[in-house]
Structure 1
């Protein structure tokens, strides 16, 4: 969802010789991280321009931008954390209802299918009724369904109530994707993506163990998972309050005609156009091999079942992951800036290949090395988080926004990460849960996470040819879309 500005209103690029472009998304590839920090990043600058559109978020004070980023990061993080809650407390849920890891895969698949189906739907609803209103509904009010899930009398009822709750929790990502482009210019894009992911990971450092206290001890209460669901639902409602207080939708003061003229809304009819961009087509193929969401869906249960940690210790381990992910988010953006400065547009492709090999090797180390107890689990999980976000913060997200016509930004990110990646991950989680139950999570991680990441590193060689050219063609394609000729 772009600003809907004309070409001559775009601020000039910083040292690039071409207009700045606006980011289109921050992915929640974090999957199961319990997350969100309550502080803004003073190092991120907002868009500076002498010709701001009236009512735009860019016209707010830096303090206002910081509070809006905090509220949006908190909202996105709380939504993401609910999947992590189910994964971490699944040993108790499984014991309570007599189900195995296959049902963990089913619960994980429900959230991924919801992202695929309802992510684009909520983006369209936000365009029609206002992004802030929909955010308050699905992040705040929808938290009541999470509270209700804690009262489930059977696993069937848990499935039903949890499915309803995740229909709302998948909404924050595509909606926030549409708000962020109004805040940051291209020269700050790496920092912006890194910052929102860091906000998403920061609170998890405290929130995960705090909720994990319900399962503290060698013999936790069988109802600990219920207490956790009730608490998470209440926190979700709080996030809706923060959205209501701190976020100002740039469109709320825009004339209806201007809103209708903006082409940055999600449009299913525009999806086919995106595949005319070679880099986008390659990205669609690339996400098939991005299986980290499968890893994170089963990793907390893996720590409990195969590494001997208690549920509370597993939440502490995931906090170590969150700490690593905070550093990783900042590291990804800054490393990408350095690579681009030294190698040009191909620098992001180079960094992504390095990241894919490094993450695959790290997953192999963390899941295949024989160990038990927290002495190894904590530092290895921290290392996993430290590598986790580099590629998406610094490479994938900026690359998509650098090649897609700005009017199609929302459609591009919803299609790639809500529909394609969400659907594929849901199918994998559904099948791999039963595979892990029949064999072992360790074997599943090796063949369905490590191997795909290494294959993906080779696949990314194809981007060296397409990406630099598509970057140069973005403005031309943006003009063609505006003229109705793309």
Structure 2
């Protein structure tokens, strides 16, 4: 299918906030199944694990190793996929990685022991590493500065809501003998469907289109090498955001939620899995509200609004996590409501932090930026948290682990985000000035 080359509509060359890329919401919707299946890889594993460990005789620490392996693979492969996207095109990379992931996930269903499962899951993670950094780069090209929060919010909210409906279904299937194998096959079929949808329906936007940057003013996609990484870290805001993501303890909550409720408070796996529904709804509402708030606050307070919202999200999550994990409420209904509240506050983050990073990086550097932020920083943090929680959970219990990671660390995270008030305004001005300079130089007589 030929790529769409329609030019975005602009009122001025320098003002990216008024840019509208044709059919941007339809193009984004086509990518939603890819995000859904990428995100479902680890969440479905967590849901199936109670059944898997009975079949294969695994410990709680094994889940941490599996999840950490997935993230470590992402640290290596995410930047490689972004590099390939710069050379071969983002559409080809999304299709190829989706097919790879589907085949490897289907193979997981045939695993006969822990080593086989670990190796096959690692192979599936190679494909899963491509989606997020590439799609975030696309979002920045589809949407302007005043609508990126809503775009990220609706995308992640819709995907999470769909995932929350799939998870209980797979949990029930996992309750049957060998049900976890069927769960992997269902997920593989969804992954293949997402790849085919991207192949036949996705239309690629031009690089920098969301900023009103003329296509001829965009340099070729840089190689993801030390020079490119060094250019990214010259932005103080980007550097602080990478450190902030390394301290994002809430990445751990979804992985161990079901096992935590089973081991700490004695619920059955099927009962504990019920928290997935309110968690999915909470995250959906959080991402949508976060995206809308981000855009509105940004328009009213363009230099400090996003940073203040980001801080608030961390503090509110810490409070909800303490109530949801440190008190024995006795009723799964209460736990479900509190886990839904935790998910809501966690969901505020994507609609705030993704547009924040887009605002301080040049269009040609956004793919590498999200490779570093998501595939490296977030993945490394997730790997450390998963390994640590799995190992420490066997020794001191998941409740103590959750206290330190979901409450205490997240309070510190919110305080740390305050440093962004000192760097964000100047970094945004630098990017906008560079974009305006490029367009002016190109159109000057």
Fold agreement, TM-score > 0.5: yes
Residues 52-79 of structure 1: per-residue CA shift (max 9 Å, x gap):
xxxxxx34xx3xx444322311111111
Residues 299-320 of structure 1: per-residue CA shift (max 9 Å, x gap):
2211222233333333331121
- Return the TM-score normalized by structure 1: 0.81
Cα distance, 1:444 vs structure 2: 0.3
Q: What is the match of residue 19 of structure 1?
A: 15
Output aligned runs, 1:342-361, within 5 Å.
342-361=300-319
CA contact (8 A) 2:283 2:346 kept: yes
Cα distance, 1:210 vs structure 2: 2.1
Q: Aligned-pair RMSD on alpha carbons? A: 2.8
- Return the TM-score normalized by structure 2: 0.89
Q: Distance in 2 between matches of 1:98 and 1:236?
A: 28
Q: What is the match of residue 304 of structure 1?
A: 262
Query: Which runs of no fewer than 5 residues in structure 1 stay unpaired?
Result: 22-45, 49-57, 253-257
Cα distance, 1:424 vs structure 2: 2.8
CA contact (8 A) 1:208 1:316 kept: no
* Count of paired positions: 428
Cα distance, 1:481 vs structure 2: 9.5
CA contact (8 A) 1:88 1:314 kept: no
Q: Distance in 2 between matches of 1:264 and 1:281?
A: 21
Q: Structure 1's 166 and 300: CA in aligned 2 closer, same or farther, altered over 3 A?
A: same
Cα distance, 1:147 vs structure 2: 0.9
Query: Which runs of no fewer than 5 residues in structure 2 stay unpaired?
Result: 208-214
Q: Structure 1's 127 and 274: CA in aligned 2 closer, same or farther, altered over 3 A?
A: closer
Residues 136-170 of structure 1: per-residue CA shift (max 9 Å, x gap):
22113530211110110111111111111111112
Q: Distance in 1 between matches of 2:183 and 2:270?
A: 12
* Among candidates 103, 109, 116, match of residue 150 of structure 1: 109
Q: What is the match of residue 156 of structure 2?
A: 197
Output aligned runs, 1:202-213, within 5 Å.
202-213=161-172
CA contact (8 A) 2:86 2:222 kept: yes
Cα distance, 1:259 vs structure 2: 9.5
Q: What is the match of residue 121 of structure 1?
A: 80
Q: What is the match of residue 28 of structure 1?
A: none
Q: Indicate the larger mover: 414-423 or 361-370.
A: 414-423
* Among candidates 387, 400, 403, match of residue 360 of structure 2: 403
Query: Where do 4+ consecutive residues of structure 1 move more than 6 Å?
Result: 258-261, 479-483
Residues 425-450 of structure 1: per-residue CA shift (max 9 Å, x gap):
21232222110111111100111221
Residue 203 of structure 2 corresponds to residue 272 of structure 1? no
* Among candidates 77, 87, 96, match of residue 55 of structure 2: 96
Residue 183 of structure 2 corresponds to residue 228 of structure 1? yes
Cα distance, 1:411 vs structure 2: 1.5
Q: Structure 1's 299 and 10: CA in aligned 2 closer, same or farther, altered over 3 A?
A: same
Q: What is the match of residue 262 of structure 1?
A: 219
CA contact (8 A) 2:142 2:205 kept: no
Q: What is the match of residue 168 of structure 1?
A: 127
Residue 340 of structure 2 corresponds to residue 340 of structure 1? no
Specify the SS of the correspondent of 2:15.
coil
Cα distance, 1:354 vs structure 2: 1.4
